[in-house]
Amino acid sequence: MSKSVAIVTGASQGIGQATAIRLARDFSALVLVARNRANLERTAEAVRAAGAEALVIDADLAQSSAAQAVVDRALAAFGRIDALLNIAGAVPQIDLFEMTDAQWESGLALKLHGARRLTIAAWPALKAAKGSVVLMSGNSALFPKAPYAAVGTINAAIVALAKAFSDRGISDGVQVNSVLPGPVMTGRRRSYLQHWAPLHNMTVEEATANFPKEAGIARYGEPGEIAELMAFLVSPGARWMTGSTLRMDGGEVKSI
């Protein structure tokens, strides 16, 4: 394995954690970024067990100064950045007419602006390495609905942002794509089901079993399945794929 470095945000849990552990097979060093240091340390243990170095950075990417600080620490430790996987970002699933400005701004600050600032901060190093960027969106970008308006709106913005970065990346030699997962069984999904169940007069167990049927899918996705797609996108075999939006949702979106 040649010397190569990937930054993974949201690496403390769920898809971000699974992606970091998967990338330890392909990269010699991982920079793990999230707010929860204890969980990040657990991710780092798994990354090191898989044979890669790990740098843990507990940072809140919603803060405007965090992106440059993360890039500076990554370069100080490893001297290069070959891939950036923007996975961090939790958006409140609240009805369109009930969300406050503060809740909108919270979702935008981390998932959209955090990814935007970090990609810009890492861009010179990515350009030097002819590297890759992935931005995590979600399939709600394709069907924003009132009960989770912010999720769909911000995910759609992520797709547009990735397109804009990929356009610049054509001349700079940086590959940029976005990924739209569907319902994946993570801790965040379990929390959502706990909220969703009483609203539909169900137990959490009933809601968990019923949700895939309502979504028109056979089952929930697993974080490791999305991690495999992320790994492919930053692999040499996917190098000509840029500006693409890849949906992995078990067939939830029925449109062409």
pLDDT band at residue 152 under the 50/70/90 scheme = very high
Per-residue pLDDT tens over the stretch 195-219? 778 878 889 898 899 889 988 999 9
Residue, of 49 and 208, whose pLDDT is higher: 49
Instruction: Please tell me the class of the 5-183+221-247 domain.
Output: alpha beta
State the Cα–Cα distance between residues 191 and 147, nearest whole angstrom. 16
Q: What is the mean pLDDT of residues 112-125?
A: 98
Average pLDDT of the chain is 94
3-state secondary structure at position 203: coil
According to DSSP, residue 240 is labeled: T
Q: Where are the domains of the chain?
A: 5-183+221-247, 185-220
pLDDT band at residue 146 under the 50/70/90 scheme = confident
Cα-to-chain-centroid distance, residue 152 = 15
State the Cα–Cα distance between residues 171 and 167, nearest whole angstrom. 8
3-state secondary structure at position 132: strand
pLDDT band at residue 2 under the 50/70/90 scheme = low
- CB 93, CB 147: distance < 8 Å: yes
Q: What confidence score (pLDDT) does residue 3 get?
A: 74
Residue 38 identity (one-letter amino acid): A
